[in-house]
Amino acid sequence: MWINFFKLRLFCCLLAVLMVVVLVVNVTQVEYLDHETASATFIDSGGQFVSSQVIRISRNPYCGYERQILSSRERLEEDSLLAALQWQEPDVGPVPFLKSTDPSSSYFVILNSAAFFRVGSQLEVLVHVQDFQRKPKKYGGDYLQARIHSPKLQAGAVGRVVDYQNGFYKVFFTLLWPGQVKVSISLVHPSEGIRVLQYLQEKKPDRVYFKSLFRSGRISETTECNVCLPGSLPLCNFTDLYTGEPWFCFKPKKLPCSSRINHFKGGYLKGLLTATENAFFQSGVNIKMPINSSGPDWVTVIPRNIKETNSLELSQGLGTFPSGYYYKDQWRPRRFKMRQFNDPDNITECLQRKVVYFFGDSTIRQWFEYLTTFVPDLVEFNLGSPKNVGPFLAVDQKHNILLKYRCHGPPIRFTTVFSSDLRYVANELNGIVGGKNTVVAIAVWSHFSTFPLEVYIRRLRNIRRAVVQLLDRSPKTVVVIRTANVQELGPEISLFNSDWYNFQLDTILRKMFSGVGVYLVDAWEMTLAHYLPHKLHPDEVIVKNQVDMFLSFVCPLET
């Protein structure tokens, strides 16, 4: 009997020890997470918790995106988007600089040359690229930009480029105004540079890094943060509970994760390229350089009907590409009549009794700044927010107008954003009641250029879901999306914010919001078609046209 009693006591002791071990492990895990949400558990659009057991593996095994909750429809859409953006990479080995694309040796020819063209006609241009030894290239993959323009008329429009993968490209233009029209073709990056950009996108997404300050009492620590932080060091998990958007910081040595007080851009990694790769990114050599014509680079366009003195209206409704064109420095969309808001009183009348939300990066903040500068009755309310960061608020009490700007959640390369102001656009949209007096404008693109495309697709998927829900509950809400735009490029900027990266993001945005019931301001064409130098933050004349188009959606012409 005593032997059995001893065995029972031994078993109980072992069970107690095991329970203590399990308890210690669980407590340690809770402290490690610091009461933040676990990355494998999210809340779906219906407010239900979803277990990590249903999570599938993403195509790109990028940290933080290895475990995504995707329905079969979302998976199909993502696969379709990635397939559509597969750049035609030439099947060649390493290429020396002298055999790479030389814009000064390349040339273009107007194919269907004629004595004159009529408004609405198609113009075809053939581009033949050569290397620095003046030898024809046998493969494609270069990134070209094309436009037609008439400087005296302050007119311009973009063209569509087709790559035949053999060193020849064809560019298609629609002639949209009468007069002498000039063709301009530029090499943005040679195919050899595109291969480098692809490698950086897939293998070096952390080339822009971020930091956060943690503080408690007199103790403060700064650690690095990002969508992905490889390694085995302890992490603070700041994954958003509702959207599942991942964000991590290295855990401070002395402070808890809950002591984070801000977020800011840490900097840009240096020394990313070899000497051979650097040769493909040279200002004045192969970055945004013009390709000259081997013959005439202009055509004469006459009105469709010679008796017409103004044929601009005839170009309306000819198609969807290009989406519009400039004439006398005014943007003319081809699918509807855009209003000109040249008087502040016109804007006040349009926005009377409305609440306007601006969500996103600094390119949508330009709209807020333009309106508060141009309309004297809109008085900006000082919230004590950091300059160029926000949030910002402007009020016109007399006409009952309220404007709000808030930046999107990380990744965002602003100087300093307080942790309490790090909010995701989808979550903000879910808090808006909506209605006929509610306007929402969104621009989210520039800060995603260094990441794999799955990162951007996920962000837009969350925003789109929130937009659909907003329009479902309040169909009269006006939602406007601002697209990406072209910008100035140099050797360093090209590695982080190249037009090629942003062209991909712009394509994804257009496809994902097609048929959703939102309006689109085509900032890409509006910057590429204009005669002014490309800038991340376009000059005022371009911003005015963007805002006029935005307001035309809010207050359309009565027909």
Q: How far apart, in whole angstroms, are the C-alpha atoms of residue 137 and residue 407?
A: 45
Mean of pLDDT values over 453-468: 96
At residue 462, what are phi and psi to the nearest 5 degrees? -65, -40
- Range scoring the smallest mean pLDDT among 15-19, 145-149, 402-406: 15-19
Mean of pLDDT values over 41-64: 37
Residue type, 256: P
Q: What token pair was written down for 434?
A: 């909506």
Quick one: pLDDT at residue 41? 30
Per-residue pLDDT tens over the stretch 252-283: 999 999 999 999 999 999 999 999 999 999 99
DSSP codes of every residue in 255-277: S-GGGB-EEEEEEE----S-HHH
pLDDT, averaged across the chain:
87
Nearest to 282 by CA among 196, 411, 168, 382: 196
Q: How far apart, in whole angstroms, are the C-alpha atoms of residue 185 and residue 173?
A: 12
Q: Does the pLDDT at position 25 exceed 90?
A: no
Quick one: pLDDT at residue 387? 78
* Global confidence as pTM: 0.86
C-alpha of 374 from chain center: 27
Quick one: pLDDT at residue 36? 36
Quick one: pLDDT at residue 10? 57
How many other β-carbons are positioned within 10 Å of the β-carbon of residue 296?
11
Model confidence at 311, pLDDT cuts 50, 70, 90, reads very low
Side-chain-side CA neighbours of residue 81 (13 Å): 27
Quick one: pLDDT at residue 93? 83
- Range scoring the smallest mean pLDDT among 39-48, 142-151, 171-180, 271-280: 39-48
Q: What token pair was written down for 301?
A: 């366009």
Decide if 194 contacts 141 (C-beta within 8 A). Answer: yes
Stronger pLDDT, 64 or 487, i.e. the higher one: 487
Q: What does the buried/exposed string (b/e) look like for 135-147 if buried means 16 or more CB atoms within 10 Å of the residue's CB?
A: eebebbbbbbbbb
Mean of pLDDT values over 198-208: 92
Q: How far apart, in whole angstroms, are the C-alpha atoms of residue 403 and residue 377?
A: 12
Q: Does the pLDDT at position 24 exceed 90?
A: no
Q: Does the pLDDT at position 13 exceed 90?
A: no
Q: Does the pLDDT at position 206 exceed 80?
A: yes
- Range scoring the smallest mean pLDDT among 175-184, 192-201, 227-236, 468-477: 227-236
Model confidence at 4, pLDDT cuts 50, 70, 90, reads low
Quick one: pLDDT at residue 52? 30
Q: How far apart, in whole angstroms, are the C-alpha atoms of residue 452 and residue 539?
A: 30
Quick one: pLDDT at residue 47? 29
Q: What token pair was written down for 320?
A: 């969807």
Q: 98: burial class by Cβ within 10 Å (0-12, 13-18, 19+)?
A: exposed
Mean of pLDDT values over 133-161: 97
Quick one: pLDDT at residue 318? 35
At a CB cut-off of 8 Å and minimum separation 6, what does 418 contact? 261, 262, 263
In the chain the domains, ranked by start, together with CATH numbers, are 97-190+286-306 (2.60.40.10), 208-268 (no CATH), 329-554 (3.40.50.1110)
Name the residue with tokens 């209003």. 339
**CA-based max dimension of the chain:** 119
Q: How far apart, in whole angstroms, are the C-alpha atoms of residue 208 and residue 272?
A: 11
Tell me what percent of the residues of the chain surpass a pLDDT of 70: 85
Q: 46: burial class by Cβ within 10 Å (0-12, 13-18, 19+)?
A: exposed
Q: How far apart, in whole angstroms, are the C-alpha atoms of residue 342 and residue 284?
A: 38
Helix, strand, coil percentages for the chain (3-state, nearest 5): 30, 25, 40
Q: What token pair was written down for 509?
A: 């945005």
Per-residue pLDDT tens over the stretch 70-125: 889 999 999 999 999 988 777 788 999 999 999 999 999 999 877 789 999 999 99
Stronger pLDDT, 57 or 452, i.e. the higher one: 452
Q: Does the pLDDT at position 172 exceed 70?
A: yes
